[in-house]
């Protein structure tokens, strides 16, 4: 049930225009390379485009979208689209889930249902949350903010939505990719309202004492630099000249599809087989949302704003913070253990972290967004923290073969289905079969340094470091 007319009603003429454009695609001349080596695989994009034009049933998915519990609030003069899933128990803690790019609110709907009604999915009703899933400004059904730089930052809009519009004095927050930065800012700006935050992935710090790095920390920074050099072209384009790209993708559904599908394949733990993680209909529904709402252009704005320093720096996050690090993350810091030097309690690992998206998670599915960026933390792996009358425990889940039993669990730790449930229940962590090696490493932290937007100067230093690493790689190859 909604508080306004159907969310989306694509006309027959709009559908036929899309199909005609797909049929009239002018395909690029083939290169003498195989598959996805140089970007989107033409064979796969052709297959998806043909299905989009001739077999994909938009009306079925349109009806499902319109059946969602959607609402619109006007915050600071700008409409904000959001979904609300009420928890199955009275007094359920509210939580706001924030997606990233090229995600939309749709990626989080299954997760939201599981959080709101855990008893229907094998969980306990006492773990229910009331879940709010907003669309980022400029995404899907949330118009972009009219001013640049924006008067209201996204985290400020979210807080007004949760507190002033929905009446929640205290709530939790989760985010991945762009959503991780927004969630970190919520925790920093409104500690009196945030019960805790949960982030996907860990961003590389942009400022640190190189002399004080451990070998594992240096390895992680090298991984980030290599990933940025190999996979970061999309980000540099969207940081610097997003409107040049926007003209092409706003006019060509095939170009839009290629830009999106290549990211879903590269950033998921699909092993190169996109269909092992996403159905064709899922991918095409995401592409259709961007196409019919005309928002691929405005979806680039957060990147441009980060790169231009238009997002306020985050100095410190002190609310309870959980960071999920998955075995298939593209740049994965190692868990503290006997073979990895750890930082003693009260010692900072870094001076500042970047909440723009330098890395992506390979553990994404239709229930979780591809992730990047989180905060770095002052950590004590044995810490137990109080939150709203509950305790949250530090729990490590190691992959099979690493100082644990055949299930991948470290002796003495709890199973992911119960670990850390007091802060966020297991469905918020990604679901994987044990044979797929995706046991969760979950650390409950208290953050002492979070991220900020890259200034132009810091971005240039980052590009210079990446260039030097590439030069060294070429010299040794």
What pLDDT is recorded for position 306? 87
Chain segment 4-22, per-residue pLDDT in tens? 688 999 999 999 999 999 9
What pLDDT is recorded for position 297? 97
Residue 430 lies inside a defined structural domain of this protein: yes
Answer whether residue 358 shows pLDDT above 80.
no
Compute the mean pLDDT over every residue in the chain, rounded to the nearest whole number.
Answer: 76
Q: Is 87 exposed, middle or buried (0-12, 13-18, 19+ CB in 10 A)?
A: buried
Range of the domain at 428: 66-240+316-467
Residue 58 lies inside a defined structural domain of this protein: no
The first and second tokens of residue 122, run together, are: 């094998």
The first and second tokens of residue 206, run together, are: 């942009």
| DSSP 3-state of 155 | helix
Q: What is the mean pLDDT of residues 81-90?
A: 97
Of 22-31, 274-283, 316-325, 382-391, where does mean pLDDT reach its minimum? Answer: 382-391
Compute CA distances 111 → 107, 117, 366, 439, 472, whole Å.
Answer: 8, 10, 9, 18, 43
Distance CA 356, CA 219 (A): 20
Total number of domains in the chain:
1
Residue 206 lies inside a defined structural domain of this protein: yes
Q: Is residue 453 a contact partner of residue 310, using CB atoms and an 8 Å limit?
A: yes
Residue 32 lies inside a defined structural domain of this protein: no
448: left (phi over 0), alpha (psi -120 to 50) or beta: alpha
CATH, residue 120 = 3.40.50
Determine if the pTM surpasses 0.85.
no
Residue 308 lies inside a defined structural domain of this protein: no
Residue 5 lies inside a defined structural domain of this protein: no
What pLDDT is recorded for position 316? 84
Distance CA 339, CA 335 (A): 10
What are the beta bridge partners of residue 197? 173, 321
What are the beta bridge partners of residue 387? 390
What pLDDT is recorded for position 325? 84
Residue 73 lies inside a defined structural domain of this protein: yes
What pLDDT is recorded for position 228? 87
Could you tell me which of 315, 75, 98 has the C-alpha nearest to residue 191? 315
Residue 21 lies inside a defined structural domain of this protein: no
Q: What is the mean pLDDT of residues 212-231?
A: 88
């Amino acid at each position: 049930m909604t508080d306004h007319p159907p969310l989306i009603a694509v006309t027959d003429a709009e559908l036929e225009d899309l199909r005609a454009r797909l049929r009239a695609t002018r395909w690029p001349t083939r290169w003498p390379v195989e598959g996805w080596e140089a970007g989107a695989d033409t064979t796969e994009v052709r297959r998806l485009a043909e299905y989009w034009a001739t077999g994909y049933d938009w009306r079925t998915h349109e009806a499902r979208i319109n059946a969602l519990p959607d609402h619109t609030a006007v915050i600071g003069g700008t409409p904000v689209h959001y979904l609300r899933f009420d928890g199955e128990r009275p007094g359920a803690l509210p939580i706001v889930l924030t997606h990233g790019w090229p995600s939309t609110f749709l990626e989080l709907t299954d997760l939201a249902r599981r959080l709101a009604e855990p008893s229907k999915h094998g969980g306990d009703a006492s773990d229910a949350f009331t879940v709010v899933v907003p669309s980022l400004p400029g995404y899907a059904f949330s118009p972009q903010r009219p001013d640049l730089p924006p008067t209201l930052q996204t985290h400020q809009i979210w807080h007004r939505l949760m507190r002033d519009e929905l009446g929640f004095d205290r709530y939790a927050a989760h985010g991945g990719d762009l959503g991780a930065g927004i969630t970190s800012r919520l925790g920093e700006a409104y500690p009196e309202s945030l019960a805790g935050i949960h982030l996907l992935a860990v961003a590389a710090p942009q400022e640190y004492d190189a002399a004080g790095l451990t070998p594992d920390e240096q390895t992680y920074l090298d991984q980030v630099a290599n990933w940025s050099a190999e996979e970061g072209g999309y980000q540099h384009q969207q940081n610097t000249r997003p409107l040049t790209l926007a003209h092409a993708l706003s006019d060509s559904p095939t170009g839009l599809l290629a830009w999106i599908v290549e990211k879903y394949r590269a950033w998921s733990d699909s092993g190169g087989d996109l269909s092992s993680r996403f159905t064709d209909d899922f991918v095409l529904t995401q592409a259709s949302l961007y196409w019919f709402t005309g928002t691929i252009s405005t979806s680039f704005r957060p990147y441009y704003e980060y790169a231009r320093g238009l997002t306020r720096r985050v100095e410190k996050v002190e609310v309870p913070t959980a960071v999920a690090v998955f075995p298939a993350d593209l740049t994965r810091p190692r868990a503290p253990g006997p073979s990895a030097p750890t930082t003693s309690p009260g010692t900072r690992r870094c001076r500042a972290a970047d909440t723009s998206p330098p890395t992506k998670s390979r553990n994404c599915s239709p229930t979780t967004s591809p992730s990047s960026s989180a905060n770095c933390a002052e950590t004590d792996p044995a810490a137990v923290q109080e939150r709203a009358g509950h305790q949250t425990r530090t729990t490590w889940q190691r992959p099979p073969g690493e100082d644990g039993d055949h299930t991948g669990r470290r002796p003495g730790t709890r199973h992911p289905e119960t670990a850390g449930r007091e802060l966020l229940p297991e469905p918020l962590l990604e679901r994987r079969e044990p044979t797929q090696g995706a046991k969760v490493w979950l650390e409950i932290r208290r953050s002492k340094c979070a991220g900020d937007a890259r200034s132009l100067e810091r971005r240039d230093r980052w590009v210079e470091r990446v260039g030097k690493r590439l030069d060294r790689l070429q010299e040794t190859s």
